[in-house]
Structure 1
Amino acid sequence: MRVAALLAPGAPRLRLLAAEEELDRQVTGVMTTDLHDPGRYLHGGELVLTGMLWRAAPEDSERFVRVIAAAGAVALAAGEAEVGPVPQDLVAACRRHRMPLFAVPEDTAFAAVAEYVGRQVSADRAADLAALVERHRLLVSATGGSGLDAVLDLLGGDLDLDCWVLTPTGRVVAGPADRLPPADRERLVRTHLTAGRRRSAPPHHARLHGRPYSLLPAPADPAAETPLADWLLAVAGDVTEWTGKRRQLADSLARLVAAERTRRDQGRALRRRLAGELAALLRRDAGSAEVARALYAAEAMSGPGPQRPPAAWLVLAAESTGLPDGALRAALEEALTGLADQALVAGAGPAAVAVLPAPQDGDPAGTLRALLGPLEAGLGAQGRITVGVSAPAAQPDALRGAWEEARHARRIAAARTGRICVAGPEELASHVLLLAAVPDEVRRAFRSRLLDPVVRYDLAHQADLVRTLEAFLHADGSWTRCAAALHVHVNTLRYRIGRIEELTGRDLSRLADRVDFYLALELS
C-alpha cells in the first residue's frame, strides 16, 4: 500500500503533519515501538507507530527520526494518548528527513492502524501475485511450460495460502500432498462432484476438521461436459469472504490450472489416436502383428528416452449410462493417469476400452474399484459405470483374448447393484477363460456353424428363436419356468424348441448339445 492510503476513506482517523510530498512511498508492514534506538529491528518499508515515550527532551526527536529514516522506515505515526499533542520538534525533524508524520488521536487505537495496514498490504500482495499468476498462465498457453507446484509454493510462502490441484479421484496434481491426507482429498472431491451434479454455482464449499475449504472447477474445456475428468482447485479458506483483490488471485489461479490441464490434454492427442487404432484392431479381430505394431507405437509415446516395455498388459472394458458422450473415456483416462501413465484409453459414446501395463502384484480390479469410488458422487440419478478387468496378457497376440475376457467380466459387473461396479478375471467362470484363449477363427466358425441357421430363420420370419433358446438354457431346460419367463404357452415353447432342433440338427434334451448352444451364445 502507499502511505497516502492512510488518509483514504475508510482508514483510521489520522492527521498528516509533515512531508506531504512523500506520500507515494510503499508501506510493507508496521512496527510499534518506544525504543530509543529501534533501527536494528527495522528491515525497510515499515510504518513506525510510537507513543513517544522515548522523548525526554526536544533533541531526542532529531535522533529518533534520523535512526528510523536510516533504517528504511517510510512513515511515522505518533500517538497522542500518553504524552499529548505531537511536539513541534518532532514535526521539524520529520520535515528535515522528509519523513511523513501522522498524529494518532487519542480515540484511535494503534491496533486499528496496524490492522488496516495489514489488510491493505495483504490485498496489494494478492493483486501482485494475481498478476504474476496471470502472466504465468499466458506463458503456459504460449510456450507449453508447466509450473503449478512452483506457483502454489509461492502462494504458500508469501500469503500463507494452502492450495491443491486435485483430480476427481483425489490424486494430487500439484500442492503439498503431505498436508492433505487421502481421506480428506476424497471428501473434498466428493463434495465438489456432488455440488456440480446439483448445478450449484462455484465456488463449492467444504469443511474439514473445522476448517473451511473452497473448491473451484478448472475444466480443460468449459464447453465439454466431463465433470468426472475435470481438475479442481482446492483452497484453504472461504474465498467468498476475501477481499476483491485476493479473490482475483484465486480466480487467476483457477484459470492457470485450466490452462495447464488444456496443455496436458493437447499433448495427449496423438496418444489418444493410437489408443483408438489399437481398440479398433481388437474389435475387428486383427492379426497379432498389427496389434503388436500399434502397441509398440503407443509405448514409444510414453516419454523421453528409452522405455522398458511392460512385462504384461491388462485390458479394461467399460460402459456407462447417464453420462454425456465421451465423458466415460475422459473419466477413465484421467483416473488411470494416477495408476499407469502408459495407459491407452479409447472410446466413444457410452463405451470405452483401455490397455495398460499390468501391476507386478496386488489386485488390479480392487485397486480400480477403490480408485473410481469418488466418482460415484458425480453420477446423476441414472448414472452408472461398470468395468471389467482382464487377466494379464504377456504377449500382444493375447490382447484379443484379454479383451474378450474383460468384456465378460464387465457383464458380471453390470449384473450387480451399485453405481460403480468392477469385476476381475478371478470372477469369471472357467468356460469363459477357455473361450478367451481359443483362436479367433475357431470361435467364429463354431458360433456360425451352430447359430447361423437360427439367426437366418429369425430374420426371414420375424421369429424369436434365439431369445427363446437363451431363455430355455437359463431355465435349465424347465418347460414351465421358461414358458413363464417368455410369457408364452408351453405348447408354443415346445414348437419353438422343435424348430431350433430341426434347423440345427441338435437335440436340446441332451446335455452335450445344450452346452454347445450355451457356449455359442456366449461367443455372440
Structure 2
Amino acid sequence: MRLRALLDTDALGLRLLGGEAELDRAVRGVMTTDLRDPSRYLSGGELVLTGLAWRRDAADSEPFVRILVQAGVAALAAGEAELGEVPEDLVVACARHRLPLFAVHESVAFATITEHVVRQVSGERAGDLAAVVDRHRRMMTSGPAGGGPDVVLDLLGTDLDLRAWVLSPAGRTVAASKVAGPAPAPEVCAKLAAEHLAATRAGRRAPHRVTLAGTVYSLFPVRGGGRDPQGARAARDVRETVLSDWLLAVEADAGDWAEERLDLLYGVTQLIAVERDRRDAARTVRRRLAQEVLELVQSGAAPAEIAARLRVAAPVLLPGLGAAPHWQVVVASVEWADREDGAPDPGRTAQTLLEEVLVDPRATGPEHSDRIAVAQAGGEAVALVPLPAVAGEPDGGGAGVVAEALLEAVREPLSAGLDGDGRITVGVSAAVHSAEGLRGALEEARHARRVAAARPGRVCAAGHQELASHVLLLPFVPDDVRRAFTARLLDPLREYDRRHRAELIPTLEAFLDCDGSWTRCAARLHLHVNTLRYRVGRIEQLTGRDLAKLEDKLDFFLALRMS
C-alpha cells in the first residue's frame, strides 16, 4: 500500500507534518518501537510507530531519524499522547532526511494502525505470488541440494519472465540463471556495478534504474546480515558495506512495477544475502591460514616452520593440485579522508576488497573466490597467492598477479564506491620459490604499494617490476626489499648451477667485469667464445633479462654486490 492511502483513512487519525512529495512510497510492514536504535529489527519499507519515549532532549532526534533512513523505512508516525505534540526538532530532522512524518492523535491506539496496515499489505500478497516466494525460500534453505542463488534466478525467469544476475561490487558475475542466458559483457557488468555504487554512496533509494546501450536495468542491493562481528555500528557505515555487498541486476524497468513484484524482488535479495553470508563464513578457514602464515613471517619464524604451514594451506587453496611451488604476496590498503573514530575499519574493508579484486572479473561462480586467502595486518590486507606449477616455467608459468592488470577491470566501479573520499592502493611482489623468500616478498609488496600510493588517482597499483635498481640504492628502502630483488634475479641461476654445475654465476660476474667483451671474458674463463655465448644465453633465458642492455647489466651488477 502507499503512504497516501493512510491519510485517506479517517479512522487512523493521522496528520501529515512533512514529506508530502514522498507519499507515493510503498509500505511493506509496520513496527512499533521506542528503542533509540531499532535498526536490527528493520528490513526496509516499514511504517515506524513511536511514542517518543526514546527522546530525552532535542539532540536525540537527528540520530534516530538517520538510523531509520539508513534502514530504508517508508515513514515515521509519532504519537502525541506522551508530549502533547510532535517536537519541532523531530519535524526538522525528518525534513532534512526527506522522511515522511505523521502525527498520531492521542485518541488512536497504535494497534489500530498496525492492524489496518497488516490487513492491507497481507491482502496484496495473496495468491500465486505467495507460492512463488515460498518456493524461493525452500530452495535457498534446503541445504546443498538447493542449488544456491542460481536456482533462485532460474525461478525469476520461469515464474516472472525476468532476466537477472547477481554481481559483485566490482562487477564480477557471482550467479547467473540458465533461463536468462549469459550475463552481460564484463564491461557492462562493471558499469552496472559502478552505477549501483555511485547511487548507494549518494543515498538514492533502491532500486536504481540504469540504461546502457538502450537496455534498462534495475539494480537491487543484496545486503548481508551476519558478516559484521562488531554489530550494527560498522554495518551502518555505507562506505564499508557499499564495497562488500552484492547486487541483483534485473533486465527490466522497475519504475512501473506493482508493489507485489517489488516485494518479491526484495525478498529474493534477502534470500541471496543468506548465501552471501554462507560463503563469507566459509572464508574463515582460508583467512585463518593466511593470518597464521603472515604472523610467522612477520615474527621471523624459521623457514621450516613457515614451509610446514604453507603445506597445510596449499591443498585448501589449490584443491587437487597438491603443494604450490611458488607464492606471490599482494598488499592492499584503503584510506578514507575521514579518519575519525566513526570511519570504517580500513583493514577489514581492504580485506574484503582484496578478496574480490584478486578474482578474474571474467570468472563466474564461487570456486575462483574460494582460492583466495587474505589476512589483516594493522590497517592493511595481505594476500597469499599460490601459483600452480607449469612445466618448463621457472616462475609458476607466468600465471601470477600483474599489478596494473589486477585493477584495470575493477577501476571504474571501485572509483564510484570510493566516491572522492577514499583510496585503494595495491602492491604486488614477485613470485618466490620457497618459505625463505616470503619475508622479502612481503616487504617488496609493501614497498610497491607505497610506490602506488605516491601516484594520483583513487585506485592505484604497482608491481615488483617498478622497483628498479636505482630505487634500491635509496637509503629508506628496507633491506628485505633489496634481498628480495637479489634473490629474484640470482636464485634461478643458483638453482641451475646446483643442478647442472653450469657455473652461470661465475660466468655472469666475469662477463660484467670484462664490460661485456666476449673475447676477454672467454679468455679469462678459459672457454671457447661459443661456450660463453651459450652460457650467457642461458642466463638471459632463466632471468628474462638482456645483457646487451645497460639497465639489465646494472641490475645484475647490484644484485651480485648485494648478495
> Fold match, TM over 0.5?
yes
- With over 3 angstroms needed to count, the CA separation of the structure-2 counterparts of 1:303 and 1:125, relative to structure 1, is farther
Structure 1 counterpart of 2:174:
173
Q: Out of 426, 429, 453, which is 1:387 matched to?
A: 426
- With over 3 angstroms needed to count, the CA separation of the structure-2 counterparts of 1:420 and 1:244, relative to structure 1, is same
Deviations 1:186-214 (A, max 9, x none): 11000011111112222222112222211
Structure 2 counterpart of 1:271:
286
Aligned mates of 1:285, 1:344 — CA distance in 2: 21
Aligned mates of 1:219, 1:295 — CA distance in 2: 34
Counterpart contact for 1:226–1:331, Cα < 8 Å: no
Write out aligned runs for 1:468-507 (5 A). none
Q: State the AA in 2 paired with 1:201.
A: R
2:250 corresponds to 1:246 = no
Deviation at 1:147, TM superposition (A): 2.3
Structure 2 counterpart of 1:159:
160
Q: Out of 100, 117, 133, which is 1:130 matched to?
A: 133
Structure 1 counterpart of 2:344:
324
Deviation at 1:309, TM superposition (A): 2.8
2:446 corresponds to 1:426 = no
Instruction: Please give the secondary structure, in 2, of the residue aligned with 1:300.
Output: helix
- With over 3 angstroms needed to count, the CA separation of the structure-2 counterparts of 1:179 and 1:167, relative to structure 1, is closer
Write out aligned runs for 1:452-467 (5 A). none
How many residues in Structure 1 have an aligned counterpart in Structure 2?
319
2:408 corresponds to 1:366 = no
Counterpart contact for 1:144–1:263, Cα < 8 Å: no
Q: Out of 232, 249, 255, which is 1:234 matched to?
A: 249
Deviations 1:199-230 (A, max 9, x none): 22222221122222111111223743332121
Q: Out of 450, 458, 482, which is 1:411 matched to?
A: 450
Q: Which consecutive residues of structure 2, in runs of 5 or more, have no partner in the other structure?
A: 1-124, 227-231, 337-342, 362-367, 388-395, 488-557, 559-563
Instruction: Please give the secondary structure, in 2, of the residue aligned with 1:168.
Output: coil
Q: Out of 167, 184, 187, which is 2:188 matched to?
A: 184
Structure 2 counterpart of 1:343:
372
Deviation at 1:162, TM superposition (A): 0.5
Aligned mates of 2:185, 2:246 — CA distance in 1: 18
Deviation at 1:365, TM superposition (A): 1.2
- With over 3 angstroms needed to count, the CA separation of the structure-2 counterparts of 1:352 and 1:413, relative to structure 1, is same
Aligned mates of 1:163, 1:293 — CA distance in 2: 45
Q: Out of 435, 450, 453, which is 2:483 matched to?
A: 435
Structure 2 counterpart of 1:309:
323
Counterpart contact for 1:278–1:294, Cα < 8 Å: yes
Aligned mates of 1:426, 1:356 — CA distance in 2: 17
Counterpart contact for 1:124–1:245, Cα < 8 Å: no
Instruction: Please give the secondary structure, in 2, of the residue aligned with 1:178.
Output: coil
Q: Out of 183, 188, 193, which is 2:197 matched to?
A: 193
Deviation at 1:338, TM superposition (A): 4.2
Percentage of matched positions with identical amino acids: 43
Deviation at 1:349, TM superposition (A): 5.4
Deviations 1:145-181 (A, max 9, x none): 5422122123213322101000011111111573411
Deviation at 1:438, TM superposition (A): 6.9
- With over 3 angstroms needed to count, the CA separation of the structure-2 counterparts of 1:162 and 1:416, relative to structure 1, is same
Instruction: Please give the secondary structure, in 2, of the residue aligned with 1:286.
Output: coil
Pair member with larger Rg: 1
2:213 corresponds to 1:219 = no
Instruction: Please give the secondary structure, in 2, of the residue aligned with 1:320.
Output: strand
Write out aligned runs for 1:45-60 (5 A). none
Instruction: Please give the secondary structure, in 1, of the residue aligned with 2:203.
Output: coil
Counterpart contact for 1:226–1:330, Cα < 8 Å: no
Instruction: Please give the secondary structure, in 2, of the residue aligned with 1:220.
Output: coil
- With over 3 angstroms needed to count, the CA separation of the structure-2 counterparts of 1:144 and 1:178, relative to structure 1, is closer
Deviation at 1:235, TM superposition (A): 1.1
Aligned mates of 2:146, 2:385 — CA distance in 1: 27
2:311 corresponds to 1:296 = yes
Aligned mates of 1:201, 1:290 — CA distance in 2: 52
Q: State the AA in 2 paired with 1:386.
A: T
Deviation at 1:303, TM superposition (A): 7.0
Aligned mates of 1:207, 1:124 — CA distance in 2: 33
Deviation at 1:408, TM superposition (A): 1.2
Write out aligned runs for 1:66-215 (5 A). 125-140=128-143, 146-176=147-177, 178-215=182-219
Aligned mates of 1:408, 1:238 — CA distance in 2: 47
Deviation at 1:398, TM superposition (A): 1.3
Q: State the AA in 1 paired with 2:350.
A: L
Deviation at 1:245, TM superposition (A): 2.3
Counterpart contact for 2:303–2:436, Cα < 8 Å: yes
Aligned mates of 2:454, 2:354 — CA distance in 1: 21
Aligned mates of 1:181, 1:168 — CA distance in 2: 16
Q: What is the TM-score of this pair, normalised by structure 1?
A: 0.56
